[in-house]
Amino acid sequence: MESLMAILDERLDNDNYTANDTAVKDAVNELLESIGELPVSTSPTTSSGASIYNRALRFLERANVRTQAMMWPENTALAKRDTVTNLIGSAGLALAVRAAGEDSHRSFVVRESSGNQIIFDSDAGAAISGGTTIQVDMCTKVPFKELSYHLRENIIKSAAQEFQRRLQGSPQADQMLAQERIFADGRTSRPEAMKKNAPLRNAQSPFSSMPAPPQTGTQDG
């Protein structure tokens, strides 16, 4: 099978960090504020260090990838028909894939193999060759600073909650951050299933379905 491309690029903007990156600095500062740390005046330029600032950036990177992979209108091309090589591309930005159209009966996922991204056919139990044409909904990683305000906010709130849980572990702060995350998630535009007349992943916020309250009182005999 022909080689496709390197493993997923997890950097926020698919490029090296710079000290004057305002979007990254503001996001890092929001994480720092969640644990009572003072904000930074310049953005950290690496997420591999051991400082609190480097670690905050790493939490952002993880939340960015995990959240974007849920498939949103701004980073997902629906019913795209092309070869696997063209779908994956050469930048290591493929996040998720879902079989669509003529291939909707099949089960595809994005995986990594020998340092390359591949599209794996779960039914066949094997990678699909690069020259094979398939039809899929294709989700790719968009640079963080190019995302809509609401999706960026969703990512930051998710990262802040995880950051506080790991570094501080305050139950009171966790409740506050969870509430902020719910509001941010509810404001983020989702795929509209009715437009496609098909069930779509992530079409409803996971926070929008609350359990029914318990029954109280007694029935009349």
Q: What percent of the chain has pLDDT over 70?
A: 86
For residues 118 and 199, which has the higher predicted lDDT (pLDDT)? 118
In the prediction, which pLDDT does 1 show?
40
In the prediction, which pLDDT does 199 show?
61
- Rg over alpha carbons for the chain, rounded to the nearest Å, is 20
- pTM (two decimals): 0.84
Q: What beta strand segments (E) does 19-177 contain?
A: 76-83, 94-99, 108-113, 116-121, 126-127, 133-140
The answer to whether 16 and 149 have CB atoms below 8 angstroms apart is no
Place of tokens 């998720």: 96
Q: What percent of the chain has pLDDT over 90?
A: 77
CA 116 to chain CA centroid, Å, is 20
Residue 47 has pLDDT above 70, yes or no: yes
Average pLDDT over residues 25-52: 95
162-221 tens-digit pLDDT? 999 999 999 999 999 999 999 999 999 987 755 555 566 776 676 665 555 555 555 554
For residues 208 and 132, which has the higher predicted lDDT (pLDDT)? 132
Average pLDDT score over the chain: 89
Q: Binning pLDDT at 50, 70 and 90, where does residue 2 land?
A: very low
Distances (CA, A) of 6 to 53, 56, 88, 94, 116: 27, 25, 10, 10, 4
In the prediction, which pLDDT does 216 show?
55
Average pLDDT over residues 117-127: 95
Residue 19 has pLDDT above 80, yes or no: yes
In the prediction, which pLDDT does 26 show?
96
In the prediction, which pLDDT does 208 show?
60
Neighbours of 195 (CB within 10 A): 10
In the prediction, which pLDDT does 5 show?
55
